[in-house]
Structure 1
Amino acid sequence: MIIFVLSSCTGVRVKGFYQALPSQVGKWKAHDKDEFYNRNTLYEYINGGAELYLAFDFQQVFVRRYIGSDNTEIILDIYDMGSAGDAFGIFSVEREDEDIGIGQDSEYGGGLLRFWKGPYFVSIITTGEEQTAKPIMIKLAQAVDRIMDTKGLKPGLLKALPRDGLDETSLRFFHTDSILNRQYFLAEKNILKLDKHTDCVLAKYKGYDNSAYILLIQYQNSVLADDAYHTFLTAYMPEAIESGIVQVENETWTMTKTDGSILIIVLEATQKDFGMNLMAKIKP
């Protein structure tokens, strides 16, 4: 059973579909007042985790709590991430599990359901017994999915990646060095000169007895890309300033080049030829 009610939300910027969210799913009923947090108040809700969202174009989060007969909760968060690209980004940087067919991409694992659709990222978590709550969480997610009548495009930079050998669950989209270092640590300093204006894609590739990472960074123009290229070479692989290719201490290969406003880096290629072939297949 899913019961829908219309509620009035004043004094905050909300989307129309909030008013159509279910007030009850099965025996789980909405309780307490709905909550809203913006860029200035997000720390009040997720102190210690707000930096992740603020590294994207986060606008606002809507929070509704559902309580079951055993007084445990299911908590629904709907994040307005400002754009479809950043909604995909915040979903991607913590993705671990396979898609469960909700929204534009989704996953479920360990009592946490996550999906994105259009400019929105949705998180549903339970404080109760997972097997009891899971079907209710899925019904709630499907209801939210139906209410959202908009879809969005993934970041265009993803199209430059080769598809063969791509580990889809490893795909990450982000902007800043703080997020890069959560995914793949390069250096304490921001040697790639990342900021809110850079689009970054990181992905892992696997071949027969081979593997590597591809990191793509799109800058606002080719001058900025070239500047970051030289800074990266000087700081990370100074012995390869001429060639852009080096074998590092763990005997894997790192290689880099620019293509217009895009900086291309292949990391941890187990074989030089494997890394070179990957780089050749990148089509900015």
Structure 2
Amino acid sequence: MYSKRICFLASLFIAAVCLPVSAEGLDRLFPEPGLVPGWNAQGPPEHYAAETLYEIINGEAELYHAYGFREMAAITYIPEEGDGYTDITVYLYDMDTPENAFGVYSSYRYPDYDFDRIGTEAMVSDYGVKFYQGPYFVDLSFSDASEPIRLAGAEISRAIAEAISAPPDPPAILNLLPAENQVDKTARYAAKEMLNQSFLPSGLEARYRVGDREVTGFVILFDEPDQAAEALGKLGEFYLSSHASTVEADLPGEKGLAVETAYQGILIAAVKGRYLGGVRELNSAEEGIPLLKQILARF
């Protein structure tokens, strides 16, 4: 009796491991047959969980894991009158939150790319489309740059975006960065280790025009004010141990830091509540104080 129970539990475990990952949840977002004229799915979607994602995007899986990856479904579309070499592969990622989906999307984005209004925002090229909407990040890969495949790719992208129930509004967290003088398409969200520091949590950054130059403004997000103040102290210790020097500056906020770094110019930062705002790559502390005040005024 005991051995039968063990075998029964083991069979349940094996079945659970082999089941598709939330197949219905992601598969419903793919276009139905005939929705994009002349193109059909080559086969059913394939599904990937956290432990198997590397099998299909080896080398990039860590990026998605850093942003709260939950699951992914992939499907390939081929033309009805194809040559056997033309296809569009769609990778649909559930990133759990709109912030995480934007974070992955923003890690690929550069201002000089071409963009389209698909989902919340889309990057388009001759060989693919990347867009995000709600908690989903969608990546389409084209086998060639011909016009028919690019037009079909755009139609598939729009069909997926329309099937996503989440509104196409950007994540509200982006409002923590001032829009004035922000360089378009440069905002990024990091899920952890802001400023490449293991002791810092998630945050935002964007490029800003200051005079005839560009600098980086940032916001780091904490749960409690004490955590923000403690992190500012650790940040100062890190820079001073890395041959930075302190700079005299009349900074806004509850507690501030101004240092001249070895490779990133002058950095100024200040705490306000549970947030830590800052500006880096400055020629002088005074140059960045107006932007720092704008950042702190957002929270």
TM-score (norm 2): 0.79
1:275 paired to 2:288: yes
Distance 1:130 1:170, change over 3 A: farther
- Alignment partners' CA distance in 2, 1:277 and 1:241: 17
Separation (CA, whole Å) in 2 of partners of 1:58 and 1:165: 33
Question: Structure 1 residues 250, 47: closer, same or farther in 2, change over 3 A?
Answer: closer
> Which residue number corresponds to residue 50 of structure 1?
61
Task: Identify the residue that residue 100 of structure 1 maps to in structure 2.
Answer: 116
Give yes or no for contact 1:200–1:218 (8 Å, CA) kept in 2.
yes
Among 225, 228, 238, the residue aligned to 1:225:
228
Give unmatched runs, 5+ long, in structure 2: 1-18, 250-256
CA-CA distance at 1:113 after TM superposition: 0.5
The aligned runs of 1:1-284 (5 Å cut-off) are 11-16=20-25, 18-19=27-28, 21-23=31-33, 25-68=36-79, 69-70=82-83, 71-96=85-110, 97-151=113-167, 154-177=170-193, 180=194, 190=198, 193-194=199-200, 198-237=201-240, 239-240=245-246, 244-249=257-262, 252-282=265-295, 283-284=298-299
Q: Tell me if the contact between 1:84 and 1:153 (Cα under 8 Å) persists in the aligned partners.
A: no
* 1:109–1:152 Cα change, 3 Å: closer
Deviation per CA, 1:16-59: give whole Å up to 9, x if none.
57236233534333113310101111111111100000001111
Q: How far apart in 2 are the matches of 1:45 and 1:17?
A: 17
Residue matched to 2:9: none
8 Å Cα contact 2:67-2:95 kept in structure 1: yes
Tell me, in whole angstroms, the C-alpha distance in 1 between the residues paired with 2:25 and 2:126.
Answer: 31
Distance 1:143 1:272 in 2: 49
Q: 1:48 to 1:251 in 2, by over 3 A?
A: closer
With over 3 angstroms needed to count, the CA separation of the structure-2 counterparts of 1:207 and 1:256, relative to structure 1, is closer
Identity of aligned pairs, percent? 25
Distance in structure 2 (CA, Å) of the matches to 1:107 and 1:83: 20
* Cα offset, 1:264, TM superposition: 1.4
Shift of 1:112: 2.0
Q: TM-score, normalised by structure 1?
A: 0.83
Structure 1's unaligned 5+ residue stretches are: 1-9, 181-185
CA distance in 2, matches of 1:245, 1:278: 14
Alpha-carbon offset, residue 280 of structure 1: 0.8
Local SS of the residue matching 2:115:
coil
Residue in 1 that maps onto 2:16: none
Structural RMSD (CA): 2.4
**Paired residue secondary structure (1:32):** coil
Count of residue correspondences: 262
- Return the alpha-carbon distance in structure 2 between the equivalents of residues 82 and 148 of structure 1: 14
Structure 2 distance, partners of 1:14, 1:242, is 58
> Structure 1 residues 117, 250: closer, same or farther in 2, change over 3 A?
closer
Q: Would you say the 8 A contact 1:22–1:143 is kept in 2?
A: no
Alpha carbons 2:232, 2:276 under 8 Å: kept: yes
Deviation at 1:157, TM superposition (A): 3.5
Say whether the 8 Å CA contact 1:157–1:218 is kept in structure 2.
no
Q: Is the 8 A contact 1:53 1:90 kept in 2?
A: yes
